[in-house]
Amino acid sequence: MFLCLFFSLFDKVVHQIEKSDHILGDVSKIENLNIIDTGSGTSVKKIREMMGKKFEINLFPPVELLLKELPREDILKWLDQSLRENQSGFIKFAYHLD
């Protein structure tokens, strides 16, 4: 498992691309944490319950859903579920290649 804690000019960020529900309790104890940057396997609902609606979540879709040949409905289903779990909190959807 790869977990990275980094500091930008203004933010303290945890970056975890794998499913990380099992470490959210420890991550939530990091003082002055501003952002969790995570992959799609992590429970947005659990992050929201622990960190509140104002906390920023950066969420990455599963790469399988970004394949050209997959039906558009698959990514929309994932997006709908992510937004429901987010409970109207602060969330960004992004994708990058590591």
pLDDT in tens, 27-36: 888 888 888 8
Mean pLDDT of 11-32: 78
Unique residue bearing structure tokens 């990380």: 20
Residues 6+ apart with CB under 8 A from 93: 58, 59, 60, 61, 79, 82
Q: Is the predicted pLDDT of residue 95 greater than 80, yes or no?
A: no
DSSP assignment of the chain, as one string? ---EEEE-SS-EEEEE-S--GGGHHHHTTSTT--EEEEETTS-HHHHHHHH-TTSEEEEE--GGGG-TTS-HHHHHHHHHHHHHHHTT--EEE-----
